[in-house]
């Protein structure tokens, strides 16, 4: 078994890499823009609007994209291979197409060349200095050159002294370059003066030799200076980035704060479902084609057909709103994971446990009923199949106790199918129940993930895919190990 576990664990990183690659490409190719924020309209429909968190203006917008690694190609970086001719043609297109294409398409084109700028700095400064070019082309080349020279400083709640020192230099350098930007009201004289200063800066930074990639550096950039490689390098160090709206908050820390809520709302229903579906499945299998079997089948079919967004508000209105716990005057809570902190922190350990159980009682029902309906019917089918097998008939012929046959022979063998089904659901532990957490106002990861999707928070979405995939793979590994305990005939050697 040890060899099997080692082999499976060795395959986990390879499988995760493939899953991350697929999710990363799909997310980056998805339509939309990270600077648009999702909102819910008065009618409950998801809408998008321009972000109001300070991402305004071209420079701020491009810096925002650079912070999230969106200024690089997704998988292959061919920009260092752009020739002088290609750059000149691109500048001419930008200079002459402003009034020939839609504002949106023109903005995308400018953004693309802004991303390419730092890979073609020598070509841009050459076109900006070329007196034979038109004013618009020289202006465009100079502004793109400035874009390529602007850098992004280190961010985070805790920075090293070297990082702080470099950030101060970057801030001064960015301010100097920004002041040299060619505006709409600048004259030809002003352009000549600013371009001359840009040439001096270019030479002081090392000239063409410092900004031109050749040989292995160009080949390395093809694969390593990409969005995917940059993200993967952070994942290897367990750095999953920061939140979109607050660079001082790390994704993994924010997930950790919400993990206990989603774990509670996922693991408890998982264990309860495993126990209850075996009981109901066994009863329906033993009483096959009798009134009890028909009745339970109908009940579970009805439960499966009722969506959770109908059940959750129904539970709140009929079971909690203006209601109290039976035989007490304690109101039944219907929001939050526990009482407000000023009340919760003054409770004893046993009182806190009771307070949490009271708050999550209705959410657990809303989460569990649908899964129970599916798993109970699956358990019925699995137990019926086992009941027809020869070893069960042999045990019955030997006169073994009926309860012993159900538990030892039928229950253990039938559980294999249930374990397989439940193991696949382990990957949604972090996701929790989005609808339930939203309706019952529980600050779990499901709600956090939903808000991340609306806000196009790439770091949170990618972490969710990574964590969910990892838990699913571990779930299947646990299921394989469980088979050896449930069925002695199964061997992993």
pLDDT band at 492 (very low <50, low <70, confident <90, very high): low
pLDDT band at 196 (very low <50, low <70, confident <90, very high): very high
The total domain count for the chain is 2
pLDDT for residue 58? 54
pLDDT for residue 194? 93
E runs forming strands in 244-382 = none
Q: Are residues 287 and 213 in the same domain?
A: no
What are the Cα distances from residue 276, in Å, to 271, 273, 281, 368, 375? 9, 5, 8, 10, 9
Per-residue pLDDT tens digits for 262-297: 888 888 888 888 888 888 988 888 888 899 989 999
pLDDT for residue 150? 86
pLDDT for residue 201? 93
pLDDT for residue 299? 92
The answer to whether residue 27 scores a pLDDT higher than 70 is yes
pLDDT for residue 59? 53
Quick check: helix, strand or coil at residue 164? helix
Give the pLDDT mean for 393-421. 77
Indicate the range of 138-142, 187-191, 388-392 predicted with least confidence. Answer: 388-392
pLDDT for residue 155? 67
Task: Residue 480: count other Cβ atoms within 10 Å of its Cβ.
Answer: 18
Q: Are residues 289 and 433 in the same domain?
A: yes
Q: Is residue 452 part of a domain?
A: yes
Q: Are residues 111 and 173 in the same domain?
A: yes
Q: Any idea what the CATH number is for the domain that residue 437 is in?
A: 1.10.3720.10
Q: Is residue 317 part of a domain?
A: yes
pLDDT band at 245 (very low <50, low <70, confident <90, very high): confident
The answer to whether residue 407 scores a pLDDT higher than 60 is yes
Q: Are residues 149 and 261 in the same domain?
A: no
pLDDT for residue 55? 42
The answer to whether residue 239 scores a pLDDT higher than 60 is yes
Mean pLDDT of the chain: 81
pLDDT band at 63 (very low <50, low <70, confident <90, very high): low
pLDDT for residue 39? 45
Q: Rounded to whole angstroms, how far apart are CA atoms 444 and 430? A: 9
pLDDT for residue 151? 82
Task: Residue 24: count other Cβ atoms within 10 Å of its Cβ.
Answer: 21
What is the percent of the chain where pLDDT is above 70?
88
The answer to whether residue 204 scores a pLDDT higher than 60 is yes
Give the pLDDT mean for 65-72. 73
Q: Which of 153-157, 362-366, 394-398, 443-447 has the highest mean pLDDT?
A: 362-366
The answer to whether residue 463 scores a pLDDT higher than 70 is yes
- CA neighbor of 448 nearest in space, from 242, 247, 262: 262
CB 383 within 8 A of CB 282: yes
Task: Provide the token pair at 428.
Answer: 């949604």
Q: Are residues 275 and 403 in the same domain?
A: yes
pLDDT for residue 472? 78
Indicate the range of 99-108, 240-249, 317-326, 481-490 predicted with least confidence. Answer: 481-490
Quick check: helix, strand or coil at residue 44? coil
Phi, psi of 411 (to 5 degrees): -60, -45
Q: Are residues 324 and 196 in the same domain?
A: no
Q: Are residues 267 and 340 in the same domain?
A: yes
Q: Are residues 216 and 356 in the same domain?
A: no
Buried b (16+ CB within 10 A) or exposed e, 349-360: eeeeeebbebbb
Q: Is residue 10 part of a domain?
A: no
Q: Are residues 207 and 307 in the same domain?
A: no
Give the pLDDT mean for 126-131. 90
Question: Among 210, 225, 240, which residue terminates a domain?
Answer: 225
User: Between these two residues, 7 and 348, which has the higher pLDDT value?
Assistant: 348
End-to-end CA distance of the chain: 5
Q: Are residues 403 and 257 in the same domain?
A: yes
Question: Among 184, 210, 225, which residue terminates a domain?
Answer: 225
pLDDT band at 425 (very low <50, low <70, confident <90, very high): low
pLDDT for residue 252? 86
Q: Is residue 2 part of a domain?
A: no
Question: Among 208, 225, 242, which residue terminates a domain?
Answer: 225
Q: Is residue 32 part of a domain?
A: no
pTM (predicted TM-score): 0.71
Q: Is residue 239 part of a domain?
A: no
The answer to whether residue 52 scores a pLDDT higher than 60 is no
What DSSP string runs through 283-316?
Answer: HHHHTTTSHHHHHHHHHHHHHHHS-HHHHHHHHI
Q: Are residues 365 and 460 in the same domain?
A: yes
Give the pLDDT mean for 326-330. 82
pLDDT for residue 50? 45
CB 348 within 8 A of CB 250: no
What DSSP string runs through 123-151?
Answer: HHHHHHH-TTS-HHHHHHHHHHHHHHH--
Q: Are residues 150 and 285 in the same domain?
A: no
The answer to whether residue 413 scores a pLDDT higher than 80 is no
Per-residue pLDDT tens digits for 329-371: 888 888 888 888 888 888 888 889 988 989 888 888 888 888 8
Domain with 258 in it: 251-486
pLDDT for residue 40? 42
Q: Is residue 37 part of a domain?
A: no
pLDDT band at 138 (very low <50, low <70, confident <90, very high): very high
Q: Is residue 67 part of a domain?
A: no
């Amino acid at each position: 078994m040890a060899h099997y576990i080692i082999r499976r664990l060795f395959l986990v990183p390879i499988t995760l890499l493939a899953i991350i690659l697929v999710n990363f490409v799909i997310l980056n190719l998805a339509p939309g823009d990270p600077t648009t924020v999702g909102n819910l309209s008065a009618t409950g429909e998801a809408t998008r609007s321009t972000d109001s968190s300070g991402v305004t203006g071209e420079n701020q917008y491009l810096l925002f994209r650079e912070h999230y690694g969106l200024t690089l190609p997704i998988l292959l970086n061919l920009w260092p291979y752009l020739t002088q001719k290609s750059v000149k043609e691109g500048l001419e297109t930008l200079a002459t197409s402003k009034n020939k294409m839609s504002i949106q398409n023109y903005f995308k084109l400018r953004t693309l060349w802004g991303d390419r700028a730092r890979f073609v700095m020598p070509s841009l400064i050459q076109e900006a200095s070329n007196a034979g070019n038109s004013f618009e082309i020289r202006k465009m080349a100079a502004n793109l050159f400035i874009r390529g020279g602007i850098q992004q400083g280190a961010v985070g709640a805790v920075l090293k002294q070297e990082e702080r020192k470099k950030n101060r230099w970057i801030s001064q350098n960015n301010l100097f370059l920004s002041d040299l930007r060619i505006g709409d009201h600048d004259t030809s004289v002003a352009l000549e003066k600013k371009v001359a200063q840009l040439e001096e800066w270019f030479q002081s930074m090392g000239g063409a030799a410092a900004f031109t990639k050749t040989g292995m550096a160009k080949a390395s950039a093809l694969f390593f200076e990409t969005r995917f490689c940059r993200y993967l390098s952070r994942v290897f160090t367990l750095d999953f980035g920061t939140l979109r709206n607050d660079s001082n908050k790390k994704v993994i820390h924010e997930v950790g704060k919400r993990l206990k809520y989603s774990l509670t709302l996922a693991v408890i229903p998982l264990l309860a479902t495993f126990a209850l579906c075996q009981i109901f499945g066994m009863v329906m299998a033993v009483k096959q084609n009798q009134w009890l079997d028909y009745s339970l089948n109908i009940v579970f079919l009805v439960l499966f057909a009722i969506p959770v967004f109908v059940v959750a508000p129904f539970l709140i209105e009929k079971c909690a709103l203006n209601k109290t716990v039976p035989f007490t005057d304690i109101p039944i809570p219907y929001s939050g994971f526990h009482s407000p902190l000023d009340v919760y922190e003054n409770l004893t350990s046993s009182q806190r446990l009771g307070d949490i159980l009271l708050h999550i009682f209705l959410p657990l029902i809303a989460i569990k009923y649908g899964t129970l309906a599916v798993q109970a019917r699956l358990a019925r089918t699995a137990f019926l199949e086992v009941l027809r097998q020869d070893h069960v008939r042999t045990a019955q012929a030997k006169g073994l106790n009926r309860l012993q046959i159900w538990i030892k022979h039928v229950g253990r063998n039938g559980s294999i199918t249930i374990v397989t089904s439940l193991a696949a659901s382990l990957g949604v532990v972090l996701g929790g129940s989005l609808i339930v957490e939203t309706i019952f106002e529980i600050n779990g990861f499901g709600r956090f993930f939903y808000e991340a999707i609306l806000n196009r928070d790439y770091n949170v979405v990618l972490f969710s895919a990574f964590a969910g995939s990892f838990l699913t793979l571990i779930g299947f590994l646990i299921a394989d190990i469980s088979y050896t305990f449930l069925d002695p005939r199964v061997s992993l050697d």
